[in-house]
Amino acid sequence: MTNSWKKLLFGVAAALLVAAAPASTYAAAGCGDLNNDGVFNASDCLILAQCLAGLPSCTPATLCGGAGLASCGDMFGDGDVSVSGLGADLSVCNDTVAKLPTTYDACHGPGPVISCPGGNLTLHSQDILTSQTWPASCKILIDGTVYIGDHTGVLQPVTPVIKIEKGSVIHSLTGGADPDGGSADHHDQRQSAGCPRAG
Ligand SMILES: [Ca+2]
Ligand SMILES: [Ca+2]
């Protein structure tokens, strides 16, 4: 068998594997679309309220098109859809329907805790494009101009939010390399300090 035939057969086999790949069991319901009708509105928030109240009309496993409550109902984006955690999700749901601002974009919660070896971290001039959490255990020195978001104003698919834990220490170095001096700036983006507001 020639190399070209081997390549051809391999290509056919690969195509068959792709064709045989199982389709997703559930169509992905959009963020907050608990009844999976293709629209996010107050009806979805009513379902969340029923779940929060523990009403039998809430059947978590059947929500979000059968994928389960957690797959589209975690509107605060903290991974918690327990009864005690649903209050934050319902708050974001109601605020989003009312077109009120929320701390985080719907279904996108606090970002990961930053790496802070030895408890000290120096941030030089940069754009922070994704959400992150600054822990109280980390002393942060800002040496330059740090933008939350793109400094040219380009909006990100998910609005970056810096969660600054209560008790955090942040210093700005005035003698930094950036000619503007040390500063923290937010460019039409959002910051949260202390406990995140749920909506
Ligand atoms: Ca819906
Ligand atoms: Ca949640």
How far, in Å, from the CA of 71 to the mean position of ligand 2?
A: 11
User: 162-190 pLDDT, tens per residue?
Assistant: 999 999 899 988 755 444 444 444 434 45
Ligand 2 is a single-atom ion; what residues have CB below 5 A from it? 74, 76, 78, 80, 85, 89
Residue 196: pLDDT band with limits 50, 70, 90: very low
Tokens describing residue 24: 């997703």
How far, in Å, from the CA of 32 to the mean position of ligand 1?
A: 7
Q: Name residue 189's amino acid.
A: Q
Which pLDDT score, from 0 to 100, does residue 70 have? 96
Confirm whether pTM is higher than 0.85.
no
How far, in Å, from the CA of 153 to the mean position of ligand 1?
A: 32
User: 15-38 pLDDT, tens per residue?
Assistant: 333 333 344 455 578 999 999 999
Domains of the chain (ranges; CATH) run 29-109 (1.10.1330), 117-193 (no CATH)
pLDDT at 44 over 50: yes
How far, in Å, from the CA of 182 to the mean position of ligand 2?
A: 36
The average pLDDT across 93-121 equals 96
Which pLDDT score, from 0 to 100, does residue 162 have? 95
How far, in Å, from the CA of 108 to the mean position of ligand 2?
A: 10
Which pLDDT score, from 0 to 100, does residue 173 have? 82
**Close Cβ partners of 126 (under 8 Å, ≥ 6 residues apart):** 144, 146, 147
The beta strand positions in the chain, using DSSP E, are 120-128, 132-134, 139-148, 161-164, 169-172, 183-186, 190-193
- Higher pLDDT: 9 or 71? It is 71
How far, in Å, from the CA of 155 to the mean position of ligand 1?
A: 27
